[in-house]
Amino acid sequence: MDGKTGNAKSGVRLGHVSHNGQPCIGLHFPYDKVLIAAAKDAGARWSASLRCWYTPNSPERLRAIFAAFKGIAWVDSSPLFTPKKMPLSSGGPPPVQPGNAHAASKPTAQPPPPLGATQQAALDAMRRKLEIGRYSPRSIPVYLGATKQLFRHFPNKHPNDIRTEDIETFQHHLASVRKVSNSTLNQAVNAIRYYYMNVLGDERRVTFIERPRKETKLPLVLSKSEVAAVLKAPTNLKHRSLLALAYSGGLRVSELVALRPEDLLFDRGLIRIRGAKGNKDRTTLLGRSTAELLKRYVEHTQTRELLFEGQGGGPYSARSAQKVLQTALEKAGVRKPATMHTLRHSFATHLLEQGTDLRYIQTLLGHSSSKTTEIYTHVSTRYLQGIVNPIDNLDAP
């Protein structure tokens, strides 16, 4: 991998590779620090011989890849599901090399063909529109990547000639062949709608595009006693400060690792979050006990720019933060598959259970819609605990 800095324009392309005789998923993308961090979050490693990142080939690892790159870059997994055509002159399958049967059974992915000039011009026009609209550096590659996949699905069609029924065919391919998640399908719909509405000005073409049925998954929440045990578990001042701050402010991990010392408003008991999701600034809570902990941390740490820095002086990675939490969970004896986002869910649920108005919780979390915040009403046990179960009034065991 060279030393040039990329910008995630090309997204991430997956393919079959073999590492030490084992079938793996290869992750191909230009050099970009954000994409590298996401690849590490997915559990991938760099291979100098393969010239790509790789991870064992399994459904669990594939899901981890999509989760790690969600909201960062479009992931093209089509090479994993597209078998390589046999040459007519081959007369049969290629010979299996001794000790490399796995590699023979999984063909190596070929790079996708380059886009045509008209398709690239359409993407360039879309990029300009997105930048004018001040879309975030994370959203732009996702929108461009999804639209690029649509163009590649119809390589012989001019982008302006792709009709509504073609878009539905592409959606069916994503859902039935590639079996992408609902969130990835929604990303594709958002991107395609943006292109035809904002770049071409043709709203009718995408008015009736179907969206996937909304999934209603309740977030995992830790009890107050579990949170207390987890926050007390680390003996390292930095690790304890990291977890306490995440819970105290209900922060996303991307917001947590981007904080600067001056974002801690000790005199007001607040945390200032700049350029969060949707390019929005907001303030959230800084608890008194957390403030005292952070004061000690800042005094004992020679931080340059960021509040939490990695070993090399760069930003602390989301993967490192998750490892800190995982160690704390094990030490505290909390046997739940919690993530850093679980601390955010727990913060919101505990606020609701102690009577905080849902509108204030929405503001603290930075949710654009109150519907997003209302999910915590289904998680909170505040009202359930006051209900008498009818079985307890029966004369039955």
> Residue 115 and residue 333: Cα distance in Å, rounded?
52
Query: Residues of the chain whose pLDDT is less than 70?
Result: 1-10, 82-113, 215, 278, 303, 312, 382-386, 396-397
Instruction: Give pLDDT, residue 113.
Output: 66
388 in helix, strand or coil?
coil
Q: Hey, which bits of the chain come out as E strands? A: 12-19, 22-28, 45-47, 52-56, 75-76, 264-265, 270-276, 280-285
- Asked about 158 being catalytic, the answer comes back as no
Q: What is the CA radius of gyration of the chain?
A: 24
What is the CB neighbour count within 10 angstroms for residue 217?
8
- Burial class, 40, CB count within 10 angstroms (exposed 0-12 / middle 13-18 / buried 19+): middle
> Residue 254 and residue 222: Cα distance in Å, rounded?
21
Domains of the chain (ranges plus CATH)?
12-81+113-206 (1.10.150.130), 224-377 (1.10.443.10)
For residue 177, is it left (φ>0), alpha (ψ between -120 and 50) or beta?
alpha
H/E/C letters for each residue in 240-254? HHHHHHHHHHCCCHH
- Asked about 196 being catalytic, the answer comes back as no
Q: What is the DSSP letter of 233?
A: S
Residue 379 sits at φ, ψ, to 5 deg, of: -95, -35
Sheet strand arrangement including 75-76: 45-47, 52-56, 22-28, 12-19, 75-76
> Residue 223 and residue 237: Cα distance in Å, rounded?
23
Count of alpha carbons within 13 Å of 391, Cβ hemisphere only?
A: 2
Secondary structure (DSSP) of 276-329: ETTTEEEEEE--HHHHHHHHHHHHH---SSSSSB-TTSSBPPHHHHHHHHHHHH
Count of alpha carbons within 13 Å of 63, Cβ hemisphere only?
A: 5
What sign for the dihedral angle of Cα 14, 16, 19, 23? positive
> Residue 7 and residue 112: Cα distance in Å, rounded?
19
Residues paired with residue 17 on neighbouring β-strands, in sequence order:
24
Instruction: Give pLDDT, residue 86.
Output: 39
- Asked about 341 being catalytic, the answer comes back as yes
Instruction: Give pLDDT, residue 47.
Output: 87
- Asked about 173 being catalytic, the answer comes back as no
Helices (H) then strands (E): counts for the chain:
16, 8
Q: Which of 13, 16, 240, 344 is catalytic?
A: 344
14: tokens are: 């997956």
Nearest to 21 by CA among 61, 53, 56: 56
Instruction: Give pLDDT, residue 276.
Output: 75
Instruction: Give pLDDT, residue 303.
Output: 63
Q: Taking the complete model, does pTM exceed 0.85, yes or no?
A: no
277 contact partners, CB below 8 Å, separation of at least 6: 136, 252, 254, 366
Nearest to 250 by CA among 337, 362, 168, 326: 362
Q: Which of 252, 297, 345, 350 is catalytic?
A: 252
Q: Which of 16, 277, 345, 350 is catalytic?
A: 277
Instruction: Give pLDDT, residue 383.
Output: 67
